[in-house]
Structure 1
Amino acid sequence: MFDSIKKDLEQQFRYGGMTIRLVLINLGVFVGIMMIRLILFIVNGGQVPGFFHTLTDGLSIANSWKLILFRPWTLVTHMFLHLSFFHILINMLYLYWFGWVLENLVGERKVLNTYVLSGLSGAVLFFIFSGFLYEGTTYALGASAAVMGIAVAAATMAPDHEFHLLFIGRVKLKFLVLGLVLLDFIMIPAMSNSGGHIAHLGGAFMGFFYIRLLYQGIDLGDINFRPRMKRPKFDVYVNKEKKNSTMNRRPMDKQDQIDRILEKIKISGYENLTQEEKDFLYEASKK
């Protein structure tokens, strides 16, 4: 049984796409951390020792620039770390639902870019505002900011895509994500997790900003990013027989087709694409 499970997980990680990989990485880290806590709990006579909290703090993002400077890995590790079952359950459900929508539109690499950049953006806002909210050193962890970035990115590209919610029915993606963003705004004064909700908003902003720049040909996830240069226009000759000569038209290349479809999504939404356009965008996203 365990060999079969292992084989299935390996196949999903290899061929399932970036969304599935991110879910599996988060689940793997959670299981590993929970196993460490269980072992320490048993060895320590039924109590979780302070070492466990030292370990998790060492993987979480702190609101102290000195701690970040000496533990730079926390900029990445915090967005894969969860210590609560319901925390990781909600985050992974959102990541799976919204991640698949985004991955079908822009491909695997840009899903990873959105996840990491949104997680970092959330960490920056947490660092900036936590000084006003908390006294002393505070830590943040979890994929919530990264997942919010993916949700907003998906809603930006396909606002009219519909989800079927239990007891509610069909809800358009734009309204669902707007509700999640407004909920974070409302929960900030509650003070139970104000820094976390602010971090979520940082991730949401980055998700929107990333897609808007992507429409301009700029990928923030590309270290050597630069605006895509406009192609030169070709003159069209006119003769007596035909108003426009087809001999001087160049065929639309693959990138032009992708740009045209993305522009159509921007104007009228993903749902208004033809099935041929959806199929073409899906095939292009897998490369």
Structure 2
Amino acid sequence: MGRITDTVKVLLIINVIFFLGSQFVEVTYQYFSLWFPYSENFRVWQVFTHMFMHADVLHIFFNMFMLYMFGSHLENILGKNKLLILYFSAGLGSMILHLGVLYLDFWPGYDAMLSNGMSIEDVNTFLKTSSYPTSIAQFVSEDALYNTYTANRNPMLGASGAVFGLLAGFMILFPNLELMVFPIPIPVKAKYLIGGYFLLNVYSAITGHSIIGPSNTAYWAHIGGALIGFIMMYYWKKNSFNNKRWN
């Protein structure tokens, strides 16, 4: 473990402040987590603030540990500005893919309700309370209704997408660097360790079976962040490392 770099230190502090605040003021989860755009809880600033919200101690500990371990190494290579661009771009890419997948779950039921006689007011009531006219059940399946309701009611929060971008970037820069990760007793090259972790997330996202993390983990968000981190770092490494490091 090396010294915590300045930018990583600031990101750690901001995340901890948000987490401590959320433990004392519960309404912060409503205002700062990212809600589906159709939700009455959605606010524009949540596009950024959700990256600093965490559900519990284990959630923030894991993300901040990864930020410390890999972010400081990357800042030493990239400099402050490029690290922040990578971090927040991965976080935004994570959000976009997550919301895109949610929309695919949300839209069929939403469209079917409107197409089969429910008014927009009735649909909005359903999105808030899950209550709907019994007559609509013959036109819209329970699965479609459930998917629409849950997509709208479950917020996204956490720095995981941004951190996955850092992991992917680290793997591109140091693919053969050997890492020791508990409880694995032998060193494993970064490309295998991080690549394997990414594939586990792909498996869980596609199948719905959670191997690492709770069942409500936003696996598509992890994948989105990793893809952005991979693309950006691959481009930078290929085109920009002939010059001096960025500041």
TM-score normalised per structure 2 = 0.70
CA deviation profile, 1:2-21 (whole Å, cap 9, x unmatched): xxxxxxxxxx9xx9421222
CA distance in 2, matches of 1:213, 1:66: 37
Does 1:259 pair with 2:242? yes
Q: Which residue of 1 aligns with 2:123?
A: none
Asked if 1:203 corresponds to 2:225, the answer is yes
CA distance, structure 2, for counterparts of residue 183 and residue 101 of structure 1: 24
Counterpart of 1:187, as a letter, is S
Return the letter of the residue paired with 1:61: L
Partner secondary structure for residue 62 of structure 1:
coil
Q: Classify 1:126/1:77 alpha carbon distance in 2 versus 1 (closer, same or farther; 3 Å).
A: same
- Partner residue in 2 for 1:64: 37
- CA–CA separation in structure 2 for the residues paired with 1:22 and 1:212: 24
Name the counterpart of 1:28: 17
TM-aligned CA deviation for residue 142 of structure 1: 0.4
In structure 2, the partner of 1:123 is 95
* 1:48 equivalent in structure 2: none
**Which amino acid in the other structure matches residue 234 of structure 2?**
R
CA, structure 1 residues 132+193, in 2 after alignment: closer, same or farther (shift >3 Å)? farther
* Distance in 2 between residues matched to 1:176 and 1:65, nearest whole Å: 38
Q: CA deviation at 1:90?
A: 0.7
| CA–CA separation in structure 1 for the residues paired with 2:38 and 2:190 | 37
Which of residues 170, 192, 200 is equivalent to 1:183? 200
Structure 1 segments unaligned to the other structure (5+ residues): 1-11, 38-51, 219-257, 261-280
CA deviation vs aligned residue, 1:93-116 (integer Å, no higher than 9, x gap): 111111122122211211111111
Q: Deviations over 1:188-221 (max 9, x none)?
A: 2127326x10010000000011112324558xxx
Q: Which residue of the partner structure matches residue 83 of structure 1?
A: 55
Deviations 1:237-283 (A, max 9, x none): xxxxxxxxxxxxxxxxxxxxx516xxxxxxxxxxxxxxxxxxxx7xx
Q: Tell me the residue number matched to 1:155.
A: 171
Alpha-carbon RMSD across the aligned residues, in angstroms, is 2.5
Q: Secondary structure of 1:142's match?
A: coil
- Taking the TM superposition and a 5 Å limit, the aligned residue runs for 1:1-287 are 16-37=5-26, 52=27, 55-64=28-37, 71-133=43-105, 134-136=147-149, 137=152, 138-166=154-182, 167-188=184-205, 189-190=208-209, 192-193=215-216, 196-215=218-237, 217=239, 258-259=241-242, 284=245, 287=247
Structure 1 CA distance for aligned equivalents of residues 30 and 25 of structure 2? 14
Structure 2 spans left out of the alignment, 5+ residues: 106-146
The aligned residue for residue 276 of structure 1 is none
Equivalent pairs counted in the alignment come to: 194
Q: Is the 8 A contact 1:60 1:77 kept in 2?
A: yes
- Whichever residue aligns with residue 193 of structure 1, its letter is N
> Aligned to 1:190, what secondary structure does the other structure show?
coil
Q: 1:67 to 1:204 in 2, by over 3 A?
A: farther
- If asked which structure has higher relative contact order (CA below 8 Å, sep 6+), I would say 2
SS state at 2:180 partner = strand
Q: Which has the larger radius of gyration?
A: 1
